[in-house]
Amino acid sequence: MARTRSAAAAQDQEAERRPSLVDDAYAAMKQAIHDSSFAPGYQASEQEIALRLGMSRTPVHEAAIRLQEDGLVRVLPRRGILILALAPDDMREIYDVIIAIEGRAAELLAGLPDSRRNAVVAELAAQTDIMAEAWDAGDLAAWGQADAAFHRALVERAENGRMTRIVQTINDQSHRARMLTLKLRRELGASVAEHRAIIDAIRLGDPGEAQDRAHRHRLRARDELLPLLESFGLKHL
């Protein structure tokens, strides 16, 4: 009886740990994909990936299923896990979604009550100030982090869960392209002014102007990024 209770307790402990282990594996694999430790086109068995991450195979398997739903990997039966590449045409589709969602998010933010709108404005302005300082210092990594934080807040503070989940997925997919081209893009400084124009429209409570400013900002970024990918002959990212 004591052995049975001991086995049951061990199973309970394992059940409690399992979600955490899967979350850890998911985060570690996503980070490895983001920083290209697992480069596009890389394929390996679950056991090999687990060894590289210092984890066991089971949470890696379950994390891979989640990452497949995110569009970052493909789980190949009996052949392991494939890190998916991203083509310029994929980026074009991603920007179509971003342009639509962020425009609507800015419109919703501009329609918030004053106190909530002002809190959002302060958060967006803080990230934009960090971008400006990073641009002056030539710190592209800090610029990229603050830019990502601005756009994440723009959507999340609109409090539409579906929009947030969609944008999170495509941001995960497009991260490599943004980081790859950061040093090549010549108009990063323009983003600061455009962010401040979006913030001003939200501060004034003008939904139409906020939507238009956000829309134009992402259109310009798209029209700068896509030709870069094509000119450098980047077929996969």
Does this model's pTM top 0.75? My answer is no
Q: How many CB atoms lie within 10 A of CB 157?
A: 21
Enumerate domains of the chain plus CATH numbers: 2-83 (1.10.10.10), 88-231 (1.20.120.530)
Q: Is 76 helix (H, G, I), strand (E, B) or coil?
A: strand
Q: Residue 198: CA atoms inside 13 Å, Cβ hemisphere, count?
A: 34
pLDDT tens sequence for the chain (237 residues): 555 555 444 444 544 455 689 999 999 998 888 777 887 788 999 999 999 999 999 999 999 999 988 888 899 988 999 988 777 788 888 899 999 999 999 999 999 999 999 999 999 999 999 999 999 998 888 898 899 899 999 999 999 999 999 998 888 777 766 666 666 666 677 899 999 999 999 999 999 999 999 999 999 988 888 887 776 555 555
Which residue has 């001991």 as its token pair? 6
Residue 154: which of 96, 94, 112 has the closest Cα?
A: 112
What distances in angstroms separate CA 160 from CA 71, 165, 185, 206, one per listed residue?
21, 9, 31, 19
